[in-house]
């Protein structure tokens, strides 16, 4: 696989890895070879990130969990070039060769959650937004969110998405974004840190 594609995949999901979770298998990243696809998945039990890329050859299905430290080191060292990284999977280790470097890591022994069951497929309500506009609105609202819960409320109506946050000091933030939305109104709460994380790590101009 090219270093560029592998690095992009890691950067798209690594922020969702758990840190020092008692469920040790979450403190890493699931790497899946499945036919001509490579998939990477990370979750800390609250949010899950998933990305996939195409391989130039077909492989038997294999799944391994790479430790958090190895993933962070890899995403830092790999270059954004078409030079190849060779991934060799063994019973208890993964060896990666790229440029003049070689990284060998143990794999985490455990059963990763079935991510296919976690990701819903029957969404009825969808909007499209500019990623940067949404990110900046959330960042402004986050300033006045409760420091402990980091909550924001998102309200969707016909032509407007309203983001609100408040804290125990009676301070309140409100942001409004124009949208095209033809479904029933929604009022829903999120941890704003999770939303900011994903919008920071993807690079597309528009998000659904």
Q: What are 16's two structure tokens?
A: 């969702």
Crossing angle of helices 3-13/68-77, nearest 10°? 130
Round the average pLDDT of the chain to a whole number and report it.
94
How far apart are alpha carbons 84 and 88 in whole angstroms?
Answer: 13
Instruction: Give 150-200 pLDDT, tens digit per residue.
Output: 999 999 998 999 999 999 999 999 999 999 998 999 999 999 999 999 999
Is the Cβ–Cβ distance between 204 and 143 less than 8 Å?
Answer: no
- Res 2: pLDDT: 94
pTM of the full structure: 0.91
Per-residue pLDDT reduced to its tens digit, 53-112: 999 999 999 999 999 999 999 999 998 888 999 999 999 999 999 999 999 999 999 999
Residue 120's pLDDT band (boundaries 50, 70, 90)?
Answer: confident
Provide the pLDDT confidence category of residue 148 given band limits of 50, 70 and 90.
confident
Spell out where 44-138 has E strands.
48-67, 85-89, 93-98, 101-106, 129-130
């Amino acid at each position: 696989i090219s270093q560029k594609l592998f690095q992009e995949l890691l950067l798209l999901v690594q922020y969702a890895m758990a840190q020092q979770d008692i469920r040790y298998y979450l403190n890493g990243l699931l790497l899946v070879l499945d036919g001509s696809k490579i998939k990477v998945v990370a979750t800390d039990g609250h949010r899950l990130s998933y990305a996939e890329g195409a391989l130039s050859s077909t492989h038997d299905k294999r799944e391994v969990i790479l430790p958090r430290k190895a993933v962070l080191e890899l995403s830092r060292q790999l270059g954004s070039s078409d030079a190849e990284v060779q991934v060799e999977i063994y019973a208890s280790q993964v060896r990666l060769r790229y440029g003049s470097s070689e990284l060998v890591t143990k794999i985490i022994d455990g059963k990763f959650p079935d991510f296919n069951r976690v990701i819903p497929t029957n969404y009825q309500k969808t909007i499209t937004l500019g990623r940067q506009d949404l990110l900046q609105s959330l960042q402004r609202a986050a300033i006045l969110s409760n420091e402990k819960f980091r909550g924001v409320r998102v309200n969707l109506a016909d032509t407007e998405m309203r983001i609100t946050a408040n804290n125990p000091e009676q301070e309140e933030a409100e942001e409004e974004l124009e949208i095209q939305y033809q479904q029933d109104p929604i009022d829903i709460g999120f941890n704003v840190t999770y939303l900011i994380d994903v919008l920071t790590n993807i690079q597309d101009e528009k998000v659904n």
